[in-house]
Amino acid sequence: MQQNPLSYITLCLIANSCWAGFSVTLAGTSDYVAEGISQSDSKPAYQGSLDYAFDNGIYLGVWATSVDFGSEYDANYEQNWYAGWVYDFSENVSMDIGVTRYTYSNAPSRGYDLTDYHIGVTLFQNTGVTYHYEDDPDALGEDINDNGFGDRGGRLSWWEFEQTIPLNDKWSVGMIVNYKKNAGAEDFFGENTGDDYINWNLSLDTRWHNFDFQLLYSDTSINSKDDPNDWADARLVLTVSRTFEL
C-alpha cells in the first residue's frame, strides 16, 4: 500500500515472485499519506525507490518522496534508507526484520531525522502483522509540525495489520490498520486526541500494461480540533507506479 515503501520488496521476497538483483520503482500520487496523515499538505507528490534483493532474503534500498509540511518547516524531500531480512519458516509463514532511517532535506536545525525498527510476520503471503519502534527525542520532540501533532516525547511505537485479498489475476483489495502511541507524551497527537490514534485504510489495486494503480481510502481517529489543516481527515488517494527490474 501507499503508506509503506517497503511493501513491494518484502512481499516480493516472501512470495518468491521476483529475481534477486536491482529494481527501480517510480510513482506519482495525488497525496502522500503516511499512517493516515498527509505529508504533502494534501497535494500531489512524486516518489521513487532503488532496491536490491539478495537470494538469501536480505534486502536494502532507498525510497524518496516530495513532502510539504507547511510554511513553518522547509523540508522538501524525504529519503528513507532501509535494510532488512526476510526469512521463510514455511511456505505459509515468513518473518521480516529491518531498520529504516528517515531523513529530510532542508529540515529545521533540530531535525526531523529518526530511525524506525520493525519486526513482522506474514501468513499465507497475504496477511501481515508488524511492530514498529522509534526512539528519537529530537524528531519526536516538541512541535513536530504546524498541525500541533507532537508536544513532547521521543518513544513512538505502532502496530500495523495488513491484508490483501486477490479478486482475480489483475485485481485485489487491501486493508491496513495502524495503531500509533507515543510513550513520552500525554497529548502527542493533540490535547483533544491524546497520545495515541488509529488509522484505517482500504484499497483497490490493479495492474495494466506493467503499471500498478491503487485507489486508497484513508481515515484516522485524530480529533478535528487537533487538525486545523485537515491533514488527518478522510481522503481518497490515487497512486500510479511502475517497477523496472535491472
Which pairing describes strands 171-182 and 155-166: parallel, antiparallel, or unpaired? Answer: antiparallel
222-230 mean pLDDT: 93
Which range is least confidently modeled, 139-148, 190-199, 236-245? Answer: 139-148
163-179 mean pLDDT: 96
Residue 169 CB coordination number (10 Å): 7
* pLDDT tens-place string over residues 52-81: 999 999 999 999 999 998 776 778 899 999
CATH class in words for 7-245:
mainly beta
Between 183 and 165, residue with greater pLDDT: 165
Q: Residue 42 is placed in which grid cell?
A: 494534501
Between 127 and 10, residue with greater pLDDT: 127
Using CA atoms, how far apart are residues 246 and 215, in angstroms rounded to an integer? 27
* pLDDT tens-place string over residues 173-195: 999 999 999 877 778 888 899 98
> pTM of the full predicted structure?
0.88
